[in-house]
Amino acid sequence: MVTRREMFPLIAGASGIAAAASADAAGAAKLSEPELRRVSYRSQRTGKDRDYFVYLPRGFQQSKSWPVMLFLHGDGERGDARGELDYVLIHGPLNEAWIQNRDLPFVIISPQLDKFSRGEIGYIKNRTPAQIPKRLAPGAPPKREDERTARVGPAIEGLPANNELAFAPAGPPEGWSEMEAEVMAMVDATLRDYRGDPGRVYLTGLSYGGFGTWFLGARYAHKFAAIAPVVGYGYLDQAAAIAKAKLPVWCFAGGRDPAVPPQFFFAAMNELEKLGAENRFTIEADLGHFTWVRVYGGQDLYDWLLTHKR
């Protein structure tokens, strides 16, 4: 996989990338091809050099302003954000845009959560590079839902059993709250360096990333135009903060999910409704934890996000 590496500090005061040169008449007639760039930075949390992906959509060079999507992956895609960064391509909007060659009109930020102490968990310890999907040939149809779940198997992603779901509002242990500051700095850097529209910044994530979506959405509600947590539930205080900021939410659960059962979602979603917040709650009744494959493989979510602007 060929990607382009950029090096941008996430510290205030760093200069942005130089403005792209004006396209000549011949070049302007053809839209620029999608790009997947690796951006290097020094992690505030780990003290190590790490990378994250920034996806630039088709026609990026021809437009002055783009919607920005921050995507938070699940537990099984953690890594060192260098040699293991490609694991974040397994699921989610970046998989749709880059691997499946779908024309999604977003600049997509995809960081990688550190393993911390979870590296010995079976579905992380036993994964192999063979699970990282290869980009489809131009013109090839996107893979079907069953083909994508068969690639990684049922154990690559998961959370504790039902009776262990008494998480703090930050979400499950060693989740996205651990890297909160640097992830939000990535959003600011992308808005500055990649023509991002600050009024159209969206947040979504699956499983561990779904919990992270509630967490960051509540703490930085003013930054986002809409959020979409997938198979991760929220808490009453998070719902209150989101409703106060008038931040729209579309939440998804799997009706047969043994890891994060749908009944855990009702408290926060009912609170949003009670407070008059714009919200949707979709339960895919026939699906388990891999509900996100259908959610991100469809079109409705992306269309819904783009109807919102701060």
What does pTM read for this prediction?
0.88
**Average pLDDT of the residues in 233-252:** 97
pLDDT band at 25 (very low <50, low <70, confident <90, very high): very low
pLDDT band at 169 (very low <50, low <70, confident <90, very high): low
**Average pLDDT of the residues in 238-252:** 97
**Average pLDDT of the residues in 117-131:** 93
Label the pairing between strands 49-56 and 35-42: antiparallel
Higher-confidence residue: 160 or 212?
Answer: 212
Handedness of CA 245, 250, 251, 255 (dihedral sign): positive
- For 208-243, letters b (16+ CB in 10 Å) and e give bbbbbbbbbbbbbbebbbbbbbbbbbbbeebbbbbb
pLDDT band at 151 (very low <50, low <70, confident <90, very high): low
- CA gap 306, 303 in Å, rounded: 5
> What domains are defined for the chain?
32-306 (3.40.50.1820)
Handedness of CA 201, 294, 209, 267 (dihedral sign): positive
**Average pLDDT of the residues in 23-50:** 85
Does residue 203 have a pLDDT over 60? yes
Give the mean pLDDT of the chain: 88
pLDDT band at 145 (very low <50, low <70, confident <90, very high): confident
Contact between 299 and 97 (Cβ < 8 Å): no
User: What is the token pair recorded at 119?
Assistant: 């590296």
**Average pLDDT of the residues in 116-132:** 94
**Average pLDDT of the residues in 165-177:** 74
pLDDT band at 27 (very low <50, low <70, confident <90, very high): very low
Does residue 12 have a pLDDT over 60? no
Does residue 6 have a pLDDT over 60? no
How many other C-beta atoms lie within 10 A of the C-beta of residue 293? 24
pLDDT band at 144 (very low <50, low <70, confident <90, very high): confident
Does residue 155 have a pLDDT over 80? no
